[in-house]
Amino acid sequence: MLNQVEISKEPTLISGKNHYLLTDKKRLWQCYIDDYVNNLVTEESFDSLYGQIIKKIIIDNLQIFKHKSQEMRLPSVPLVSIIVVNWNGEKYLDDFFNSLLVQTYKNFEVIFVDHASIDNSISIAKSYINKGLDVKIIRRNRNYGFSPGNNLGVLRSKGKVLFLLNNDVKLDENCINNALFAMQTYKCKKLGAIFPKVLFWDRPGVINSLEAKWNHLYQWIDYCNGKIDCNEDNSMKKIFGTIFPAVFIERQTFIDIGLFDNIFFSYAEDMDISYRLNVLGYTNISVPFSFLYHKYRSSSQEKVQTEFSVFWGVRNYLFVLLKNMEFIHLARVFPKFFKRIVVKPMYYSLLNCQYKRFFTYVKIILSAIFYTPYVLFQRWKINKKRVWSDDEFFDPKARENYDIFFFNSKPVISKLSIDSALKGSQKYDVSGIEYETY
């Protein structure tokens, strides 16, 4: 982990070596800070720094954090089925539905799958039917989980294109239109998932999700998470995949690859689908000119690792590799991987008398054993249709073991993050190891 540097004073916004230079013309901002801000700005000082930047923007009437999209002209206008799974999400729904009302693309339906909410979610969803949205409500008698809920919504949908959405997002007005433009104009043999750019709701100048990679340790790294977004590169790009607050995919393609895995309930379903699409020869792309805003980790209703997130996250992580990875890599990687994410944490939880966490890992092992026949059957089905080798999409140059632009659930303000945002593709050095950004 990068060394955390305590901040003893705040950068001035007036003149001298410590100042922010903001330019309206290129919609970029540059930051010149003393060497005491080399790597990380602490969580405590982040809000102050960010607040000063925003204050400077307001004073100068610079709207560089206000993204404005341009509507693309579409060759065709297929029906889009928006699938959203909800559980007690009433506080997000007005923002969510209002962002659908203002979409420039109008040919869509909303499949609202509610998992026995006890708040006002259903009445809010119904109110938007009266406002002109085509909302179909599916009420379930308990919380069946994210993956099963989406699968039910997909099977009840009628659209040619699926738009799988979290309920804690709001869309730019051209989000759907521009993603469809990418879908209809990008040239490849088999198009898989289309990922719009996801920005933080409360910090719209910072990327939440644009691209993820598997690193050399076969860890899933959202390596754009926390990166300052200067909107300098709006080109479509082939990627492995990314997280799933929002994803477009053709309905038939999603059915052909087998939908979400119902045993995943929650967590790692994005890794599983991204991996599976690559194995089966599909091309996933990121589309920065289609974007939306996400309330990070609000849909899971947690800000720290709970026993729920540890169980589903770790167990499903194991299943992703067991289902999708080529045997030549699995035999070499999995024992070390299992030791790193199960055995060691289990040992230290016992050592530190964290008995609840210890028994969570016991449950993970028992659940993995129970589902082994099912997972091996899924592995056989996937690998008999394999088109691409893992070597086609794993990046051995990706050496990060953590998100360098994101720390302690907050974006990092540093010379590195600012330089990377301004320069785009560049090489940088962390702890004597050279990496490369996109």
Query: Looking at residue 207, what is its pLDDT?
Result: 85
Q: At residue 16, does pLDDT exceed 60?
A: no
pLDDT tens digits, one per residue of 254-280: 999 999 999 999 899 999 999 999 999
Q: Cβ(49)–Cβ(270) under 8 Å?
A: no
Task: Reply yes or no on whether the pLDDT at 395 is more than 90.
Answer: no
Q: Answer whether residue 409 shows pLDDT above 80.
A: no
What's the CA gap between 154 and 168, in Å, rounded? 19
Say what the pLDDT of residue 185 is: 94
Q: Report residue 24's pLDDT band, with 50, 70 and 90 as the boundaries.
A: very low
**Average pLDDT across the chain, whole number:** 79
Task: For residue 300, give Cα distances in angstroms to 112, 267, 269, 271, 286.
Answer: 17, 9, 14, 17, 24
Q: Contact at 8 Å (CB) between 109 and 100?
A: no
Q: 306 CB contacts (<8 Å, ≥6 apart)?
A: none
Q: What percent of the chain has pLDDT over 90?
A: 57
Nearest CA to 334 out of 321, 349, 343 is that of 321
pLDDT of the residue at 11: 32
For residues 93 and 115, give the distance between their C-alpha atoms in angstroms, rounded to a whole number.
14
DSSP 63-95: -TTS----PPPPS----EEEEEEESS-HHHHHH
State the DSSP code for 12.
P
- Token couple for 277: 């699409």
CA 141 to chain centre: 29
Report the alpha-carbon distance of residue 14 to residue 56 in Å, rounded: 10
Query: What whole-number percentage of the chain has pLDDT above 70?
Result: 71
pTM of the model: 0.80
Q: Which amino acid is at 188?
A: C
Q: What does the pLDDT look like over 204-215, one tens digit per residue?
A: 778 888 888 877
Residue 299 pLDDT: 47
CA 427 – CA 430 distance, rounded (Å): 10
**3-class SS at 5?**
strand
172 neighbors 377 (Cβ within 8 angstroms): no
Q: What are the Cα distances from residue 93, in Å, to 76, 165, 182, 291?
A: 29, 12, 27, 18
Question: Over 80: is that where the pLDDT of 136 sits?
Answer: yes
Question: Quick one: pLDDT at residue 115?
Answer: 95
Domains annotated on the chain, with CATH:
4-66+411-436 (no CATH), 80-294 (3.90.550.10), 307-386 (no CATH)
pLDDT tens-digit profile of 338-372?
A: 999 999 999 999 999 999 999 999 999 999 999 99
Distance in angstroms (rounded) separating the CA atoms of residues 171 and 421 = 23
C-alpha 295/C-alpha 91 separation (Å) is 11
